[in-house]
Each structure stands twice: as C-alpha cells, then as structure tokens.
Structure 1
Amino acid sequence: MLRVATKHLLWLTAVGVVLTHANEAPVPSTYQASQQQVHVELQSAFGQATDIKEKYQLEKARAWLSYADHAYSAKAKRQNIELIYQQVLDILYADQRANLSVETAILPFSQVMRHDLWTRAERIKVQTGFQCAYKELAQAEVNLVWAAAEYRQLGWRHSREIFASAERLMDQAIYLSENCSTL
C-alpha cells in the first residue's frame, strides 16, 4: 500500500511540476526533488534486484528517466514528458518487475525506426548472453525510441547522434552477449 501511495505522490508531484513547467513558471527545485526521489528509489531497487530481467527493467527505467530529464530541460510538450515519466514509474513500482514484458513501449509521438537494431535486440533477449548485455540493451532500446521521436519531431540532424548512440550500445550488447561465457 505504501508503494502505491508513494507512486501516486511522485506522479502528482511530477505532473504538477510538468503542468507548471508548461505554463513557463520556473519550478526547478520541485522538479529536481521529484527526480532525485525517483533516482534514490531506483538505486535502492537496483541494490535489491536479483533477477536479470528485473535488472534489465530497472536499467530501462533509468534510461527512460534520463530521457524524461532531457525532454523537460528541452521544454518538450507536457504530455510527452508525462508519457516518458510514466514509463519510469510503471517499471519502478511494478509488483513483479521480472514478469514485465521485455518489449519496449513505442510512445505515440515516436515510431519504429532502425528495424535492424530492433531485430538484434529481440535476438539478444532470448540468448543466454542476455545476462551480460542487459544494461546496454535496455539503454539502446530507449535510445531508439528517443531518436525516432526526435526524428519525427525535428528531423535527422536532431536524431542522428541518438541513433548513433543506440547503435554503439547495441554493438556493445551483441559483443557482451556473444562473449558472455568468457567475460
């Protein structure tokens, strides 16, 4: 019950901050406090995580939070920030993180691009090497969603570095996955 109450309190704080942000009233301390609280809870959850799928989900939540922070600082649309931040909260406060779907959500303002990288990600998830590559894989998947959103909203110049980062992370994940038994 306490987890649910904390989730709702953080969500209401974040939404209030985002709503205020959308009206251009400066409230950085409230926003930072909410984000710091989530960072602390993520760190605590990492310390308690034992299952690889749970660690993968938490790593994905960390990547979503980074994306939300960027969207906030870039003064993105309020509803976009809310959708990104909701991904973090859905993972952080899930009762059974290890049982969450390993599919990454494609947000309404994004799209699927770089099918080759998504195919690689799906292959890694079913291999035993996933246990060595979950961190890079989670970050790469969120970066793919982020890059596609940037492309859709602002064009190739704004998305190419994020796509390049996703590709580098995917290459690292593949390497780690293939060499897991020797690492």
Structure 2
Amino acid sequence: MNSFNQAPIFKLLPGAGSLIFTLLFSPLLYAGTGLHQPEDRITDQAINADIATYKQTQARIAEINNKGIAVTDYHLSKAQCWLDVSLHEYTRNDRSAFPQEALGQSDVILSALDSGQQPDSETPLVNDADRIRTDLWERIASLKSVQGLSCYAQKLACAEVELVHAGNEHKQQGWRHAKPYIQIAEDLVAEAAAIGDSCLSPAVAPAMQTQEQLDISADALFAFNKAGYDDLLPAGRRELDELVQRLNEVYARVDRITLTGHTDRLGSAQYNQRLSEQRAGTVKAYLQAQGISTEIQTVGRGATEQLDQCGTATKPTRALIDCLQPNRRVTVEVSGIRK
C-alpha cells in the first residue's frame, strides 16, 4: 500500500508521536472486526492495522475449518464471502459503511460457529443496499429448500452476498457499477442449479420383505409315529441341511421362521396334536444346532389340515398309510430379505 503524501494537518506536541502510535496500534481500536473510520484511513499505520484485522478474520475462518467444518459449508462459505467483498471494497477505497458492515457479518457468523451455535441464514442488506434481482433471490430461496443444498451450499452463500454487494453498488453508483457483481451472482446460481443433488447418494429402494413356504415330508424326517431328535432319519437330516444352506445363501436377513407340524388322520386327536408339536420342536432344535439363530416359532396342527383324506377307512393298512403320506409333513415358513 502506497503512503499518502499530504501536508500535516496539525503540529505534533512533544510525546504526541508515541501517543498516536499507541492509538493506532491499540487493540481497542481494531480488535475483532473494527476497521478505522473512513476519514482515518490516510496513513500506512491505519491501513496496515485494518489489513491486519482482515488477516485475523481470515485466520479465524481457517481455524474453524481446521476444527472440521468444511470449506464448502454454507455458513463458513458465507463468512468467507462477506470477508472477500468487504476487503474488495476497502481496497477500492469505498468510504461508505459497506466494508465495515460486510466484515461485521463475517464476524457474526464466525462467532456463532466458534460457540457451536447455528448462525442465522438470513442475508441482511448491509449499508441499506438496494434489493435487486428479486428473481435471483427467489431462485436462491427455492434452491435452499431442497435436499441437495449440501451439494452447492457454497455457491448459494456467495451468490447471496454478491447480490447484496451488487445492491450496494446499485444504490451508490447505479446499474453499470452493479453489473459485474450481478453477473457473479447469476453465474453462481446457475452453477448451483446445474449441480443439483448430484453429490447425494442415489436413493436405494427399500429392501422387500419376502415370504416363502415349503413342506418337508415327515416320512423323510422321521420313522412312522416317531418325533424325537434321535429319530431323525438320514434323508431328513440331509433335507434340513439343505434348508440351512438355502437360508444362508439366499437370504441377506432371515427375520422369522415358523415350523408347523402336521399328522395324518389316523390315531386320536390328542395323540396327533402332541406328535405334530414334537416333530416341529425337533426340527427347530436341529436348525438351531446348525447355527440358525433367527427366532423360530413352532406350531402343532395335528390332523386338522389334511391334504388328502383317502376315503373314510380308519384301519392303518399299508395302502392307507401310503395314501395319507402327504398329510404327514412339517411346513416351513420363512420371512426375510433376500440377497
């Protein structure tokens, strides 16, 4: 920054030099985001002090970023853009309140972030800037309300600030001076709209709950009229092993298994009820022994759900026993999510 060469406007008294030095560099004069008054920005010392204030604000942004808040975060981006437009106008010798008020907005956001609070998302028209391009403000509001905001938050934050910047120029010097900043805002909004929700993970269709049912012949599982664990036949064990393999290979998650035991109509209702319950319980124990940890419910239906009556005879002849074979079964119902 070049020095301003001008005649002194007052005569220094003895000791006044050190006093002025103290005032210029006193933390009270430019602590936080306080800039020198426009009329005081006529010395290298004052200007350097203001530049130091900008550097301090920039360092605060870096520090917050180091704590884990992304550079592209909406609020941190907005703090950066307020800082940028403030410094831009300061270096253009804007003597209005805009540089100070814009820098003050950066400070407000950073103070909230420093304290772990959520900054206000409103964008004030600092220095009583004109509200221009209502269509862009409305477009920004629309883009801020959708899920994809995180994909383009930085661009929207800076677009808002640039619209205020443009409004300040428009009020001070007209549209021609506002045009470059309007263009910046237009470009940022267009870029945000083009990005859309592209950074979001594609929606995953919810996994469909499926149910299937299969019947295992009790004759393959057990000897006639048997139901104990030691009564399981080799063929029945193989069939249950295949069921376990299917559950492990086909299902990503098995939520529930229901085992329902059935008998034929021969014998008393009480006997058949107990036999059907025992067979379902034995199959449950075998599945659990093979590592199936899913909840397994067991039900006994006795002879209440016959598939084939095979007439009305009750004498257990070989022909009748063979005919009634489909009724002797364990039904397996599986509910879960397939791979």
Q: CA deviation at 1:79?
A: 2.8
Task: Tell me the distance in 2 between the aligned counterparts of 1:147 and 1:45.
Answer: 28
Which residue, 81, 92, 96 being the options, matches 2:110?
Answer: 92
Specify the SS of the correspondent of 1:162: helix
One-letter code aligned to 2:179: R
Q: Report what 2:174 is aligned to.
A: 155
Higher relative contact order (CA 8 A, sep 6+): 1
Distance 1:130 1:104, change over 3 A: same
Whose helix fraction is larger, Structure 1's or Structure 2's?
A: 1
Q: CA deviation at 1:100?
A: 2.1
Which residue, 15, 18, 22 being the options, matches 2:39?
Answer: 22
Q: Report what 2:121 is aligned to.
A: 102
Q: Which moved more, 1:157-166 or 1:33-42?
A: 33-42
Would the aligned equivalents of 1:18 and 1:81 in 2 still touch at CA under 8 Å? no
Q: CA deviation at 1:80?
A: 2.6
Q: CA deviation at 1:69?
A: 0.3
Q: CA deviation at 1:22?
A: 2.3
Task: Tell me the distance in 2 between the aligned counterparts of 1:11 and 1:174.
Answer: 40
Would the aligned equivalents of 1:137 and 1:173 in 2 still touch at CA under 8 Å? yes
CA RMSD of aligned residues (A): 2.5
Which residue, 171, 175, 184 being the options, matches 1:165?
Answer: 184
Q: Report what 1:35 is aligned to.
A: 54
One-letter code aligned to 1:61: A
* Counterparts of residues 61-72 of structure 1 (less than 5 Å): 61-72=79-90
Distance 1:78 1:156, change over 3 A: closer
Q: Report what 1:77 is aligned to.
A: 95
Specify the SS of the correspondent of 2:130: coil
- Which runs of structure 1 show a deviation greater than 6 angstroms over 4 or more consecutive aligned residues? none
One-letter code aligned to 1:85: L
Would the aligned equivalents of 2:33 and 2:107 in 1 still touch at CA under 8 Å? no
Whose strand fraction is larger, Structure 1's or Structure 2's?
A: 2
Q: Which moved more, 1:168-177 or 1:78-87?
A: 78-87
Q: Report what 2:143 is aligned to.
A: 124
Task: Tell me the distance in 2 between the aligned counterparts of 1:10 and 1:59.
Answer: 27
Specify the SS of the correspondent of 2:123: coil
Q: CA deviation at 1:163?
A: 0.2
Q: Any idea what the Cα deviations from partners look like across 1:102-153, whole Å, max 9, x if unmatched?
A: 1211114302111111111111111111010101001110000000110110
* Counterparts of residues 5-16 of structure 1 (less than 5 Å): 12=31, 14-15=33-34
One-letter code aligned to 2:94: A
Which residue, 125, 145, 151 being the options, matches 2:164?
Answer: 145
One-letter code aligned to 1:38: T
Task: Tell me the distance in 1 between the aligned counterparts of 2:63 and 2:70.
Answer: 15
Residue correspondences, number = 172
Task: Tell me the distance in 2 between the aligned counterparts of 1:125 and 1:49.
Answer: 22
Could you tell me which runs of 5 or more consecutive residues in structure 1 were left unpaired when the two chains were aligned.
1-7
TM-score by length of 2: 0.46
Give me the identity figure in percent. 26
One-letter code aligned to 2:146: Q
Would the aligned equivalents of 1:131 and 1:177 in 2 still touch at CA under 8 Å? no
TM-score by length of 1: 0.82
Q: CA deviation at 1:56?
A: 0.7
Could you tell me which runs of 5 or more consecutive residues in structure 2 were left unpaired when the two chains were aligned.
1-26, 203-339
